Amino acid sequence: MSPLGLRQVYDRLLHAQGPQGWWPAETPVEMAIGAILTQNTAWTRVEVAMANLRGAGLLDARRLADLPTDVLAKHLRPSGYFNLKARRLKALAAFLADELDGDPSRLARMPLDQARARLLAVPGVGRETADSILLYAAGHPIFVIDAYTRRLVERLRLADPTAPYDDLRDRFERELPRDAALYNDFHAQIVIHAKDRCRKKPRCQACPLRPDCAVASGGTE
Ligand code: SF4
* Residue 216 and residue 210 in contact, taking contact as beta carbons nearer than 8 Å: yes
Measured on CA atoms in the order 102, 85, 25, 170, is the torsion positive or negative?
positive
Q: What is the pLDDT of residue 146?
A: 96
Residues of the chain with pLDDT under 70: 1-2, 217-221
Residue 213 beta carbon below 6 angstroms from any ligand 1 atom: yes
Among 101, 120, 137, give the residue marking a domain's end: 137
Task: Determine which residue's CA is closest to atom 4 belonging to ligand 1.
Answer: 213
* Residue 36 and residue 46 in contact, taking contact as beta carbons nearer than 8 Å: no
Structurally, the chain folds into a number of domains equal to: 2
> Among 189, 210, 212, which is best to mutate for testing ligand 1, by the most ligand atoms less than 8 A from CB?
210
CATH number of the CATH domain containing 80: 1.10.340.30
In a domain, 181, yes or no: yes
Rounded CA-CA distance 29/167 in Å is: 28
Same domain, 115 and 148: no
Q: pLDDT of 100-113, one tens digit each? A: 999 999 999 999 99
Same domain, 123 and 45: yes
Mean pLDDT across the chain:
95
Crossing angle for the helix pair 180-196 and 165-175, to the nearest 10 degrees: 120
In a domain, 49, yes or no: yes
CATH number of the CATH domain containing 188: 1.10.1670.10
Domain that holds residue 10: 6-21+144-217
Same domain, 158 and 116: no
pTM of the entire predicted model:
0.94
Number of the ligand 1 atom closest to the C-alpha atom of 214: 4
Q: pLDDT of 120-144, one tens digit each? A: 999 999 999 999 999 999 999 999 9
